[in-house]
Amino acid sequence: MPHTVPRTGASPGTRPRWWTELPLIAVVYAVYSAGRLLAPDDVTAAVNNGLGILRLERDLHIDFETPLNRIFIDHAWVGVPADFAYASLHYVATPAVLVWLWKRRQASYQFFRTWLLVATLIGLIGFTLMPTCPPRLLDAGYGFVDGMAHYSEYGWWGGEASAPRGLGSFTNQYAAMPSLHVGWALWCGVALWAHGRSVWAKIAAVVYPLSILLVVMGTANHYFMDGAAGIATMGIGALLARPVMRMIDRIRDRRRAAGTAGTAVAPVGADPVGAATEKSAGTEKPESAADVSAGCQTSARERERIPRQHGGGRGEEADTGAAEPATADGSAAAPAR
């Protein structure tokens, strides 16, 4: 049976090495962060897009962010925890679930990792194509209050989204469509529902995404349609994850094949230079048995031990030396030992 090497991206039950996974995730996150900063921050276009979303929601009576924002602002016991959740949970929960999959659910880890990375890059495309002013940055006449700024004395954030005080310039406040807070929370929920074995894991799988959807609207950081777009982004990412994995496998196979071809053994043939080198180095190939026997000269002692093949004749005696003395009855005497 021929020995086959399993494909890296498709071998079930094999845990990818952390020293290859961590740089990959770090690079994608760095691209995502840089892309957010480089995305267009045209205030006029962003405000127009935000107002367009708000008008559409009000026409469809799905502007849930308006009543939620009033509740969060009027009740600190709701608003303050929501601000902490918005500012920190996506930095904690998403990596925690990813590490849990890597350690405990090896067969599914690569799919979920690829799904997360692909969806994140799709979200970056959305930020670039459609800068959107969040509700908290609209004119006060639209009825929204910035929850993060309202409760900023309770946390590390200031009046510029969830960025720590003094670091607002390092974030793009118009990168709101789609809401990856909601998308990443949904990803965590699907992973927990599919692979969590306890009742608490199933509860968290449902409660966490729904809570984040309420939080992003209640803090006036996103419209309801931003959250819906985040859900759609994760759906597209899930559909593209396996094709991307297959494409990566094909690229790896081609690179492996190219490396194998580069190290192929040269054709066997006469190499006078190599032969001369071997002889000079004292590694001359031993002669075959036929070559040895062709020029072999048997010593006298060896000839003495070789029995006569045909009973002997006078010619043979001449070849082997003096004739052996005969006994009294005429038979040959045994040779002396």
Top pLDDT among 241 and 249 is at 241
How far is residue 65's CA from residue 67's CA, in Å, rounded to a whole number? 6
Lowest mean pLDDT among 47-56, 85-94, 312-321: 312-321
pLDDT in tens, 217-246: 999 999 999 999 999 999 999 999 999 999
Q: Which of 165-174, 242-251, 290-299 has the highest mean pLDDT?
A: 242-251
Burial degree of 74 (CB within 10 A; 0-12, 13-18, 19+): exposed
**174-191 burial, b if ≥16 CB within 10 A, otherwise e?**
bbbbbbbbbbbbbbbbbb
* Tens digits of residue pLDDT in 195-216: 999 999 999 999 999 999 999 9
Mean pLDDT of 258-272: 60
Lowest average pLDDT, out of 114-128, 148-162, 296-310, goes to 296-310
Structure tokens at 31: 């691209």
More confident residue, 130 or 276: 130
Q: Token pair for residue 104?
A: 């405990």
For residue 119, name the pLDDT band (cuts at 50, 70, 90): very high
Identify the pLDDT of residue 131: 92
What is the rounded CA–CA span in Å between residue 304 and residue 257?
A: 64
- φ, ψ for residue 164, nearest 5 deg: -60, 155
Q: Is residue 313 pLDDT above 50, yes or no?
A: no
Contact 131, 49 (CB under 8 A): yes
- Cα atoms in the 13 Å half-sphere on the side-chain side of 54: 23
Kindly indicate the confidence band of residue 31, based on its pLDDT and cuts at 50, 70 and 90: confident
Q: Categorize the per-residue pLDDT at 66 as very low, low, confident or very high, splitting at 50, 70 and 90.
A: very high
Residue 30: per-residue pLDDT: 77
Rounded CA-CA distance 251/284 in Å is 45
